[in-house]
Structure 1
């Protein structure tokens, strides 16, 4: 009897405890709801734990960094659409460095002001550059010039690592392009670089344009550039350098094009603008180059977007996709389907690709493939281009920060300062 009574009492106490635990939340329901609404589940943590939470659970996302050269109103209008597509798809913070004229800066700032609820932090830095700044740097280099339609601003792609000395690496994209997938995917390609790699871009070994010295075998329209390596290895020469260290590009240019033989002592036999010079560099020094997947270089020019597009059944198999591909034989993408993530609308012969007449022609092949994508992205409103606030826990809302460098200096000018130990205006 004694043991039986004790066991019965213990069972009774256990039942009472369970009942109490079930009833208690009803008494404190209002307080719990109020605390949850005030601070979410973090409201239940002590202040010391809460203060440590971001470092524990929320490691800072690495920003995806871009470097652009935007010159003229048309370029600014295209560049704005490119930036909008970045903000629409990027799953990481965005950092954009833009060398531009004042009119382009004003236009782009007017669009960025419309972005009030970014998913992640956005930081845009403008580098105001004049035609004279560009001409002076080209003069100090000593050998390059261009007759390409992109003009002198196009050659500045060879000097972006100098214009932006605090940037370690960046994605360069021509303005006549749109992202249709997360740019973070492209950014992560940097993580796959060999230790010696400083440049990645689309590579087309099947292109055989002898008149261009085969410069169409690459496309400098989309590039991954390790700025830090290009500065350390001194990509471009300058008469301001007095330390005896040789630049990479002069022997590469001579190997491809011979000695500068133009009437002004500069190269007059280089085609495709900056691309002709990039081609000489990567052909002469393949150890610093890696081919970039065609997924990020779906071009409307020579490769006809590889016959990809918003056409055909959505249940097409990979085998069927491969059978429909064009311009991938004897390339790094042979046997692999191109999965478009960045569209490049070049060679359309219009002030901006958005104004191309072919978008109004229902029979045009490019319009059938990608016209709907252009209409969607250019029609998407800036105010809605960033979607809802990020749902991950964070200490503050994401912001858009815009700044302008008060006075630009190229890296060769900064080096001249450093050697002289002064902050005086550099030689031009």
Structure 2
């Protein structure tokens, strides 16, 4: 149906007569004073909205703290790092760093955390380590602590990923221990006889000093090399601590079937993954130092002698007799000769000399691409039973797991030559490569899993990031404590 234009133009439906209230409202709206009131009201509403937005931002689930130069002395107050894009939440006042505070990080949230100590120097190691940390967060059923010994480059890389996690499923603590190159070299020199020609270099030797870098408030930790990632809940590995003997300080995989005389058979262990009872290693005084030797000889390094009644002899370090038993006395240049595989060579000497402080860690936690070809395990038929797995399994004869099925829980991609990041290895592009056929889909998945996906829809958990600047090794703290004691000059 259509209507003439005349009807539409004159219809009262489209042109109603003006009402008295509409005319009055239009008159008020046109007055200058009314426009001023509306402008003021709108301005107030805008300011309130901004303040609410800032408050919500400040209540984010991040906390970024830097500890002072005198860490980890218990009298040291925490020093808050200046506000930055990462500093979403700052404490109202500096908090004292004490063992009680550190041990109760997750006390109000239920289960105790799984604690990791990782070492990352350079962006390449941080890029690998980020995948490891991501996998831990992905699979963990309990809170997590990361104690990352690193340089500035590695920390910067990791923080870019961490800021993407705004709603973690469980509480996460990440504490960066900023260790300068000079301080690492100085600690090695205070030990006096160790050195390395391994590609991991000086940072690799820091695996021998984790118990001295982390404070006493961290009694246990899992160490893992950066070229690995979990494919199951790391809480299962943490539970292995409960099954160790009371005297055990170290647990790592052992391979008694391996042999390399030129390495003193150091390939019979893998220090790529270790359960470390840090409290026991501190009590045993794992590594030596001029600070300890000075007290034992009664010489503080300045020529002063201490009376034995005031300064009893310090217990000897565990490592020196172990090193000499395997490598002999240090050579003319003061270093042990023939030590291969970096820190692993020294760990091998320690656990060989002191088997009472050592236990084997299952192969499921070290499915390695290096010497053992991942034991022949692989992604594949999901209906395979024990018999099928044992039929394809290799490299377990003569080991603690002979006749047992290796059930992969962590994948370790070491010995992939020609790349500084294992996931960029050229062999992955070869579909016929046995390693590629076995595990490349798993590598792709864990590399490609986005940090953003670690967020939950709703979460009361927090991600806390802290930085410890100017780390002081335990032997330095020991020397400082001794210097504060009364000295008695002895002729």
Aligned partner (choices 237, 254, 279) of residue 288 of structure 2:
237
Q: Report the Cα offset of residue 407 of structure 1.
A: 2.1
Equivalent residue, structure 2, for 1:228? 279
CA distance in 2, matches of 1:389, 1:307: 41
Seen in structure 2, the aligned counterparts of structure 1 residues 351 and 287 have a Cα distance that, compared at 3 Å, is same
The gaps in structure 1 that reach 5 residues or longer are: 1-57, 391-396, 423-428
> Is the CA contact (8 Å cut-off) linking 1:205 and 1:331 kept in structure 2?
yes
1:307 paired with 2:376, answer yes
> Is the CA contact (8 Å cut-off) linking 1:88 and 1:386 kept in structure 2?
no
Aligned partner (choices 289, 294, 319) of residue 387 of structure 2:
319
Q: Report the Cα offset of residue 244 of structure 1.
A: 3.1
1:280 paired with 2:349, answer yes
Equivalent residue, structure 2, for 1:11? none
Q: Report the Cα offset of residue 247 of structure 1.
A: 0.5
Equivalent residue, structure 2, for 1:140? 190
TM-score (norm 2): 0.71
Equivalent residue, structure 1, for 2:50? none
Equivalent residue, structure 2, for 1:411? 474
User: Equivalences for 1:234-383 in 2 at 5 Å?
Assistant: 234-241=285-292, 242=295, 243-261=313-331, 263-311=332-380, 313-349=381-417, 350-383=419-452
Equivalent residue, structure 1, for 2:49? none
Q: Report the Cα offset of residue 352 of structure 1.
A: 0.3
Equivalent residue, structure 2, for 1:63? 113
User: Equivalences for 1:67-82 in 2 at 5 Å?
Assistant: 67-82=117-132
The DSSP-based 3-state class of the residue aligned with 2:205 is helix
Q: Report the Cα offset of residue 360 of structure 1.
A: 1.3
The DSSP-based 3-state class of the residue aligned with 1:362 is coil
CA distance in 2, matches of 1:389, 1:283: 50
Superimposed CA distance per residue, residues 118-153 of structure 1 (whole angstroms, 9 cap, x where no aligned partner): 111000000001111110000000110000111011
Equivalent residue, structure 2, for 1:129? 179
Seen in structure 2, the aligned counterparts of structure 1 residues 386 and 335 have a Cα distance that, compared at 3 Å, is farther
The DSSP-based 3-state class of the residue aligned with 1:323 is helix
Superimposed CA distance per residue, residues 304-337 of structure 1 (whole angstroms, 9 cap, x where no aligned partner): 11011113x2111101111211111110111111
Q: Report the Cα offset of residue 210 of structure 1.
A: 0.8
User: Equivalences for 1:115-126 in 2 at 5 Å?
Assistant: 115-126=165-176
The DSSP-based 3-state class of the residue aligned with 1:348 is coil
CA distance in 2, matches of 1:389, 1:289: 43
Equivalent residue, structure 2, for 1:17? none
The DSSP-based 3-state class of the residue aligned with 1:200 is strand
> Is the CA contact (8 Å cut-off) linking 1:118 and 1:388 kept in structure 2?
no
The DSSP-based 3-state class of the residue aligned with 1:404 is strand
Seen in structure 2, the aligned counterparts of structure 1 residues 186 and 247 have a Cα distance that, compared at 3 Å, is same
Superimposed CA distance per residue, residues 164-221 of structure 1 (whole angstroms, 9 cap, x where no aligned partner): 0231000000000010000000000000010000100000000011111010000000
Q: Report the Cα offset of residue 388 of structure 1.
A: 5.4
Q: Report the Cα offset of residue 264 of structure 1.
A: 2.0
User: Equivalences for 1:88-167 in 2 at 5 Å?
Assistant: 88-165=138-215, 166-167=217-218
The gaps in structure 2 that reach 5 residues or longer are: 1-107, 296-312, 486-491
The DSSP-based 3-state class of the residue aligned with 1:220 is coil
User: Equivalences for 1:9-28 in 2 at 5 Å?
Assistant: none
Seen in structure 2, the aligned counterparts of structure 1 residues 388 and 198 have a Cα distance that, compared at 3 Å, is farther
The DSSP-based 3-state class of the residue aligned with 1:368 is helix
CA distance in 2, matches of 1:171, 1:195: 17
CA distance in 1, matches of 2:415, 2:463: 33
Equivalent residue, structure 2, for 1:175? 226
Structure number, greater radius of gyration? 2
Q: Report the Cα offset of residue 60 of structure 1.
A: 1.8
> Is the CA contact (8 Å cut-off) linking 2:179 and 2:469 kept in structure 1?
no
**Superposition RMSD on alpha carbons, in Å?**
1.3
The DSSP-based 3-state class of the residue aligned with 2:141 is coil
Aligned partner (choices 254, 266, 285) of residue 215 of structure 1:
266
TM-score (norm 1): 0.82
Name the one with the larger helix percent: 1
Equivalent residue, structure 2, for 1:9? none
> Is the CA contact (8 Å cut-off) linking 1:87 and 1:386 kept in structure 2?
no
